[in-house]
């Protein structure tokens, strides 16, 4: 990000901050092929001046995101925060309440800093059992209750069950899948812009 981006805050919009895990960190593919980089390209095509900051780290959890968020908010002063976390909490079987509380706290911090929030819900494999999976799914709508945050759609909805769009690990989408993720995110993001 250039040093001049905050030179005239009255006219330049704040950035879109994406705080996520490997899905947003372009795991297994070049960073410029990832959906976050493609989102920045789409914004330019739409003549939208919001820069995009990708603060995603592969393997991150909701607790890690919550720890990292305050200095990111202070440094970048984003207009919009996109939270794409929770998948690693689920894969590790972390308590659902902890996930929900962490996402809720991230929403509150972001809104207190003047940002709009888009939460991208995650899904986890069926081998974790119906009870846990149902609770995991429910944690995302519950986390946004009482806030102005928008709950997006699962960004891998049309991708996760298509082996040709997934890397060999079956968890991470291929470069070919990234434009589909942008399309899914855009549906919910465009109303916040």
The answer on pLDDT for 3 being more than 60 is no
Q: Would you say residue 26 has pLDDT above 60?
A: yes
Report yes or no on 18 lying in a domain. yes
Residue 4 has a pLDDT of 38
Contact 139/100 with Cβ under 8 angstroms?
yes
Please say whether the beta carbons of 87 and 122 come within 8 A.
Answer: yes
User: Which pLDDT does position 41 carry in this prediction?
Assistant: 97
Catalytic residue among 112, 148, 169, 188: 169
Q: Among this protein's residues, is 58 annotated catalytic?
A: no
Q: Give domain status of residue 5, yes or no.
A: no
22 included as an active-site residue: yes
Distances 60 to 52, 68, 88, 173 between C-alpha atoms, Å: 19, 10, 7, 17
CA atoms of 66 and 19, how far apart (whole Å): 9
The reported pLDDT for the residue numbered 169 is 93
Query: Which strands make up the sheet holding 52-54, listed edge to edge?
Result: 52-54, 16-20, 80-84, 116-119, 150-151
How many domains is the chain partitioned into structurally?
A: 1
Q: What is the model's pLDDT at position 125?
A: 87
Catalytic residue among 5, 6, 22, 188: 22
Q: Name the residue range of residue 105's domain.
A: 13-189
Structural domain includes residue 7:
no
Q: Is residue 124 a part of any domain in this protein?
A: yes
The whole-chain average pLDDT of the chain stands at 94
CATH number of domain containing 177: 3.40.50.1110
79 in catalytic set: no
6 assigned to some structural domain = no
Question: Of 56, 110, 139, 172, which is the active-site residue?
Answer: 172
* Distances, alpha carbon 46 to alpha carbons 5, 32, 42, 175, in Å: 19, 19, 6, 22
Considering the domain boundaries, does residue 184 fall inside one? yes
Give the mean model confidence (pLDDT) for residues 40-52: 95
The band of 6, judged by pLDDT with boundaries at 50, 70 and 90, is very low
Write out pLDDT tens, residues 94-152: 999 999 999 999 999 999 999 999 999 999 988 889 999 999 999 999 999 999 999 99
The answer to the question of residue 1 being in a domain is: no
% of the chain residues with pLDDT over 90: 91
pLDDT surpasses 50 at 175: yes
**Residue 21 near residue 59, CB atoms below 8 Å:** yes
For residue 4, being part of any structural domain is answered with no
The CA distance from 123 to 52, in Å, is 25
């Amino acid at each position: 990000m250039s040093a001049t981006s905050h030179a005239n805050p009255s006219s330049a919009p704040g950035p879109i901050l994406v705080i996520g895990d490997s899905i947003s960190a372009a795991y297994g593919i070049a960073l410029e092929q990832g959906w976050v980089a493609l989102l920045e390209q789409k914004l330019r095509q739409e003549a939208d001046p919001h820069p995009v900051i990708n603060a995603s780290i592969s393997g991150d959890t909701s607790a890690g995101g919550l720890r990292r968020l305050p200095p990111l908010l202070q440094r970048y002063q984003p207009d919009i925060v996109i939270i794409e976390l929770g998948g690693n909490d689920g894969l590790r079987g972390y308590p659902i309440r902890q996930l929900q509380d962490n996402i809720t706290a991230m929403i509150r911090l972001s809104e207190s800093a003047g940002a709009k929030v888009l939460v991208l819900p995650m899904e986890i494999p069926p081998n974790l059992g119906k009870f846990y999976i149902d609770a995991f799914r429910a944690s995302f709508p519950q986390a946004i209750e009482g806030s102005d945050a928008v709950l997006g759609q699962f960004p891998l909805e049309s991708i996760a069950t298509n082996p040709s769009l997934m890397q060999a690990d079956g968890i991470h989408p291929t470069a070919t899948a990234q434009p589909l993720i942008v399309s899914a995110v855009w549906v919910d993001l465009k109303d916040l812009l």
